[in-house]
Amino acid sequence: MEFRFDPSAPAIVVFVVLQGRSPGQRRRLRLALDIGATYTLIPWEIARALGYHPERSRRRVQLLTADGVLYVPLITVAQVRALGQTVSGLEVLVHDLPPAGRVDGLLGLNFLRHFTLTLDFPRGRLTLESASPRRSGSR
């Protein structure tokens, strides 16, 4: 499935569908595609609306920001869908980005690495395809 983007835009922003703990509870957000981010990241209030409890999470990750190091909760989201692909049980960081960035979070490597990502900047085209199975013995 092909996604068209503006190659001159300051970020590539995609809609991501997050599944809540209960069936039917769903949120769609605009996340910046970020191959420099280890984890996918969503805001606190969205996580809460989906029925997750980031404040109770014992899993914390050091997040290096311009303002210093923060300890940010990690939760497991039942299902994350973006660019026509789905990952179940995705670990997601919970942290609010500054509103001036006008995106709600980040679509990071822990989602993208399940697939073959092709970014064609001259044509402004992005595809995310199911990864081909690795041949046995290949590295």
Partner 1 sequence: MRVQEALTIEEIQRRFPDEWVLIEVLEEDDLGRPLRGYVTAHSADRDRIYAIQTEFTGDYAVCYTGALPRKGFAIAF
Binding site for partner 1 (CB under 8 A): 1, 3, 9-11, 13-17, 22, 24-30, 32, 34, 36-37, 41, 43-46, 48-49, 66, 81-84, 97, 99-104, 106
Q: Closest separation between CB of residue 59 and partner 1, Å?
A: 20
Q: Is the CB of 113 or the CB of 138 nearer to partner 1?
A: 113
Q: Closest separation between CB of residue 45 and partner 1, Å?
A: 4
Q: Closest separation between CB of residue 56 and partner 1, Å?
A: 16
Which strands form 125-130's sheet, in the order they lie side by side?
Answer: 2-4, 125-130, 115-120
Task: Write a three-state SS string for 33-53.
Answer: ECCCCCCEEECHHHHHHCCCC
In eight-state DSSP terms, residue 110 is H
Q: Closest separation between CB of residue 12 and partner 1, Å?
A: 10
Q: Which amino acid is at 55?
A: E
Q: Is the CB of 66 or the CB of 134 nearer to partner 1?
A: 66
Q: Is the CB of 7 or the CB of 135 nearer to partner 1?
A: 7
d(CA 73, CA 18) in angstroms, rounded, equals 17
Ordered DSSP codes for 64-87: EETTEEEEEEEEEEEEEEETTEEE
Q: Is the CB of 28 or the CB of 60 nearer to partner 1?
A: 28
